[in-house]
């Protein structure tokens, strides 16, 4: 972990809270290249009527447009929640170098193990995965959102 990991994850948490204000599942993502943000996003599936409008996808799209390349080499993606399979596919196809996420997805608890298996089989040899940056905060943002929804 690097000091700037905490800076970018704080920003991703702010984005997650924006998603929550809009009635979306509170997930935020920030894409960074050379310590500069090139893309960001928060869940907008409901407001965009688009099941692919996840925070990660939106951040990757914005980053690709900014650098004018779908290959997001040497980038780091910060996400408050471990990515779903769709987002993981985009991360892999975009050749993101490093994935940093805050908390595990309770519904997809085995995602981290799945990612490790991918790495062991050299399917994704270059993707580095780190978890647990502001884990407690990220976890509580999600849990509190669903507690409010169920009231």
Distance CA 112, CA 102 (A): 12
Predicted confidence (pLDDT) per residue in 72-81, tens digit: 999 999 999 9
Q: Which residue has the higher pLDDT, 12 or 127?
A: 12
Residues of each annotated binding site for Zn(2+): 54, 84, 87
The torsion region of residue 132 among left (phi > 0), alpha (psi -120 to 50) and beta comes to left
- What's the mean pLDDT when you consider all of the chain? 91
DSSP H helical segments within the chain, as ranges? Answer: 3-21, 45-48, 55-67, 85-93, 111-120, 135-149
Residues of each annotated binding site: 54, 84, 87
Known catalytic residue: 20? Answer: no
Predicted confidence (pLDDT) per residue in 76-126, tens digit: 999 999 998 899 889 999 999 999 999 988 766 556 666 666 666 666 668
Distance CA 75, CA 31 (A): 7
Quote the percentage of the chain above a pLDDT of 90: 73
Using the predicted structure, report yes or no on whether residue 37 has a pLDDT greater than 80: yes
The one catalytic residue among 20, 24, 56, 120: 56
pLDDT band at 43 (very low <50, low <70, confident <90, very high): very high
């Amino acid at each position: 972990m690097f000091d700037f990991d905490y800076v970018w994850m704080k920003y991703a948490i702010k984005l997650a809270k924006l998603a929550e204000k809009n009635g979306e599942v509170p997930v935020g993502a920030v894409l960074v290249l050379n310590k500069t943000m090139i893309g960001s996003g928060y869940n907008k599936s409901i407001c965009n009527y688009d099941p692919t409008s996840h925070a990660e996808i939106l951040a990757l799209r914005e980053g690709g447009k900014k650098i004018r390349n779908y290959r997001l080499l040497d980038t780091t993606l910060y996400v408050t929640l471990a990515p779903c399979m769709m987002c993981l596919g985009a991360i892999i196809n975009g050749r993101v170098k490093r994935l940093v996420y805050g908390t595990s997805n309770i519904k997809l608890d085995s995602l981290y193990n799945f990612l490790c298996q991918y790495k062991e089989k050299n399917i994704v040899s270059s993707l580095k995965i780190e978890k647990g940056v502001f884990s407690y905060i990220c976890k509580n943002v999600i849990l509190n959102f669903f507690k409010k929804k169920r009231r």
